[in-house]
Amino acid sequence: MKGIILAFLGSFCPALLFNIEKNKLIWAGICGATGWTVYNSIYSYSGNKIYAAFIASVVISLISEIMAKLLKTPATVFNVPSLFPIVPGVSAYYTILYIIENDLTAAAYKGIETLGIAGAIAFGIILVSTIFRYINTRKRRKAI
Amino acid sequence: MDVKEVLDIAMLSGEILLTNGSETYRVEETIERICSAYDIESECFVVPTGIFLSGCSKNDTKDSISLVKRIKERTINLHKIEMINSFSRSLKDRRISYDEAMKFLKGLDSAPSFPYYKSLLAAGVTSFAYAMLFGSSAINGIVAAFISILIYYAEDKITVINLLPFFSEFIWSFITGILAVFINKYILPINIDSVIIGSIIVLFPGIAITNGIRDALYGDILSSQVRLAEALYTVTAIGAGVGISLLLMKYWM
């Protein structure tokens, strides 16, 4: 529960820093909290960070694309702040720390984990936005 | 309205979009939408560092005009992107005059944004949340919030450092690291790892990465590479800054 509130704050405040309209801030926060909850539950269930990040990224992108349709704004508005909690900041930090401690094996391990999470997040966004883009172009063709 | 005026409006809209962190395809779409609303045939090519735009009226192709605009600085203000987005869509139903459009676009600079203290507070709360989310106690969160507010304030006031693109991220993350190490050594024992991660997260180039991916998806491979490279350099600069401060800690303490 503590984590959910923190994840909410952690998406709400970056959204404020990016200067998003007031009434949309709360949605960005909810989106981020949902994403983090998904990430955390899958991670504790499977123990695989990369897998968890992928599913969470898919969920976040889905919610933000749907929200973008409903509120008629670019999806980026919700997407970017709500991905903040699952960004592999910790892994990246430990990669640097291990490099400094000259423990290159651990650094390589953490580095690959970082790249894996980043790639999983990216692929999650790609998957969902491709589907939505396909729907959009279908609609446009029908309109013409 | 003649071609030049329409292209001016389109170019200014595109410039505002690009400088405030929009995707490339959105800039191109918006420019084309504005031009076609005024019955102008246009062709534009957008990269993150510039806009190339040429257009002519549909019935007379002789009055073709080309404009080039170099984009130097890029910040993030998603509110402006939303405003331009709805502005360009509204033009289709109701054409407005050149003066009206220019007045609207110029007025965006003074568009309502959050008061400064709220941004400061948001930066602080962000760091607080992340320091705690990555597993540590509230005291670490408060220290992270304090460092983050300090950095955010300094970044805004000391603009000299911000002139150098990647050097600024290096300096700010270095100062963050040093502050965390210093507080840990002389003021109160903290969990340096989570404090640094929490305070650094504000500098992280999240928008550059997501936009880079989205650009690739829309076929703008060039823009995608530019943005991802930008993100990579930024992350490297942050990593180097934190790394050097930790290295200092190792040999100094």
Same-domain pairing of B42 and B104: yes
Is A9's CB within 8 Å of B125's CB? yes
Distance from CA of A94 to the nearest CA of B (A): 8
Please report residues of A whose CB lies closer than 8 A to that of B200: 89, 93
Instruction: Kindly state the tokens that stand for B35.
Output: 């031009």
Closest CA in chain B for residue A13: B122
Same-domain pairing of B155 and B55: no
Same-domain pairing of B177 and B204: yes
Same-domain pairing of B49 and B138: no
Distance from CA of A73 to the nearest CA of B (A): 6
CA distance B50 to A11: 31
Is B129's CB within 8 Å of A6's CB? yes
User: Residue B182 in contact with residue B128, Cβ under 8 Å?
Assistant: no
User: What domain range includes position B69?
Assistant: 3-110
CA distance A68 to A50: 26
One digit per residue, pLDDT tens: chain A, 144 residues? 778 888 888 888 888 888 887 788 888 889 989 999 999 899 998 888 899 999 999 999 999 989 888 887 777 778 888 888 888 878 888 888 888 888 899 999 998 998 888 889 888 988 898 888 888 788 777 766
Same-domain pairing of B60 and B155: no
**Which of B41-50, B202-211, B223-232 is the least confident region?**
B202-211
Is B206's CB within 8 Å of A19's CB? no
User: Residue B195 in contact with residue B180, Cβ under 8 Å?
Assistant: yes
Is B207's CB within 8 Å of A14's CB? no
Determine the residue type at B155.
E
Report domain extents, chain A.
2-143
Same-domain pairing of B70 and B152: no
Q: Output the DSSP codes for chain A.
A: -HHHHHHHHHHHHHHHHTT--HHHHHHHHHHHHHHHHHHHHHHHHH--HHHHHHHHHHHHHHHHHHHHHHHTS-THHHHHHHHGGGS-HHHHHHHHHHHHTT-HHHHHHHHHHHHHHHHHHHHHHHHHHHHHHHHHHHHHHHH-
Report the pLDDT value the prediction gives residue B111, as an integer from 0 to 100: 67
Q: By the CB < 8 Å criterion, does A76 face chain B?
A: yes
Same-domain pairing of B145 and B234: yes
B162 pLDDT above the threshold of 80: no
Residues B168-225: tens digit of each pLDDT: 888 889 999 888 888 888 888 888 888 888 888 888 877 788 788 878 878 889 988 9
Please report residues of A whose CB lies closer than 8 A to that of B119: 16-17
Same-domain pairing of B166 and B247: yes
Which residues, numbered 155 to 194 in chain B, qualify as contacts with chain A under a Cβ-Cβ cut-off of 8 Å?
A: 193
Q: Which of B75, B110, B145 is the last residue of a domain?
A: B110
Same-domain pairing of B246 and B205: yes
Q: How far is CA B10 from CA A118, B111, B130, B244, in A?
A: 35, 19, 40, 45
User: Residue A116 in contact with residue A93, Cβ under 8 Å?
Assistant: no
How many structural domains does chain B have?
A: 2
Instruction: Kindly state the tokens that stand for A14.
Output: 């970056």
- Average pLDDT on B155-163 reads 74
Which residues, numbered 53 to 82 in chain B, qualify as contacts with chain A under a Cβ-Cβ cut-off of 8 Å?
A: 76-82
Same-domain pairing of B138 and B41: no
Please report residues of B whose CB lies closer than 8 A to that of A72: 86
Same-domain pairing of B105 and B135: no
Distance from CA of A16 to the nearest CA of B (A): 7
- ipTM for this model: 0.81
Please report residues of B whose CB lies closer than 8 A to that of A90: 134, 197
Q: By the CB < 8 Å criterion, does B242 face chain A?
A: yes
Please report residues of B whose CB lies closer than 8 A to that of A94: 193
